Amino acid sequence: MKKLLVSTASFVALTILILGSQTGCEKETINNTITKTDTVFICVPLTKDSILVQKTWKVDHVYSLISGTLAKYVNGGVNTTGINFDNQKYRFNSNGTGTFTGPSADNHPLTWQFTTADKRTISIAIAGVNTSTWEIVEIADNYLQFSVSTNGGNLSTYRLKQIP
């Protein structure tokens, strides 16, 4: 029975350690004055805002339907879009500003804001490039996915990935 309790306690501790390291939880050490030091995990879920401004985003995957032509870009793979997405990056700051790095590695200031309470729509204005509305926005872990329609019938769907 004692062996079973030790095994169960070890399993629970390992599970907490693994889950804590994969959910954005932070480790905090508590010093006990009597005998030992315990480590506990304080889990604070990351908000969409905090994930968005955490790191720079690189284009990872694009599907576009422009003037009836379907095209695709996959980072490190196929590119039938005619646009060099390899250099394209986005950096979002918590104050609603940021930087867009274009296909030619040229930088442009941008402004952004969530326009719906559920944070599924973002208005983004890139100086000298365009203003657009990103819809069906999904921000989770290290991915940002959205769709954008332009010129009355063109549609592109993007997946951005955080750069470590």
Q: Domain residue spans in the chain? A: 2-42, 48-162
Q: Tell how far CA 145 is from the center of its chain.
A: 8
* Residue 34: predicted pLDDT: 56
* Residue 67: predicted pLDDT: 87
* Residue 75: predicted pLDDT: 95
User: 53 with 162: CB under 8 angstroms?
Assistant: no
- In CATH, the architecture of 48-162 is Beta Barrel (2.40)
User: 91 with 46: CB under 8 angstroms?
Assistant: no
- The whole model's pTM is what? 0.73
Residues of the chain with pLDDT under 70: 1-38
User: 100 with 108: CB under 8 angstroms?
Assistant: yes
DSSP character at residue 87: G
